[in-house]
Amino acid sequence: EPEVTQTPSHQVTQMGQEVILRCVPISNHLYFYWYRQILGQKVEFLVSFYNNEISEKSEIFDDQFSVERPDGSNFTLKIRSTKLEDSAMYFCASSKGSGSNYEQYFGPGTRLTVT
């Protein structure tokens, strides 16, 4: 069964460094998402992406964050100048369509630790 994959599974970085989290969505899906979960807190929506542009973003997704689909398979989340409070589990998801009739399929997550 097709699945969303994410790399790396765990990333440790120093404060102020840039990180890129990578995701390979399911191949025939058109909508892509990033969510994050700070330890002990709720899973939070960050951004959705369709047709090579951001379709929606949350207030968390500020200028420090960017997303890109650099080729036909990868979907990346870049965090510039990481802060301690960026430490979290980051989940990528994809879906065939938009709206609650289309299931979002989630990857296993990348645990980001900022020291």
Partner 1 sequence: GNSVTQMEGPVTLSEEAFLTINCTYTATGYPSLFWYVQYPGEGLQLLLKATKADDKGSNKGFEATYRKETTSFHLEKGSVQVSDSAVYFCALSDPSSASKIIFGSGTRLSIRP
Are 4 and 107 in contact, with CB atoms under 8 Å apart?
Answer: yes
Q: How many residues bind partner 1 (CB under 8 A)?
A: 29
Indicate the Cα dihedral angle 44, 47, 49, 54, nearest 10°. Answer: 160
Q: Does 108 bind partner 1 (CB under 8 A)?
A: yes
Closer to partner 1 by Cβ: residue 15 or 60: 60
Closer to partner 1 by Cβ: residue 66 or 106: 106
Buried b (16+ CB within 10 A) or exposed e, 26-63: beebebbbbbbeeeeeeebbbbbbbeeeeeebeeebee
For 10, the token pair is 């765990």
For 69, the token pair is 């689909």
Helix (H), strand (E) counts: the chain: 0, 11
Could you say which residues in the range 19-78 bind partner 1, by CB under 8 A? 31, 33, 35, 40-45, 48, 55-56, 58
Q: Does 7 bind partner 1 (CB under 8 A)?
A: no
Choices 1-9, 11-19, 64-72, 77-85; region in contact with partner 1 by CB under 8 A: 1-9
Q: Which residue in 25, 29, 107, 112 binds partner 1 (CB under 8 A)?
A: 107
Which positions lie near partner 1, rule CB under 8 A?
Answer: 3-4, 6, 31, 33, 35, 40-45, 48, 55-56, 58, 91, 93, 98-101, 103-109
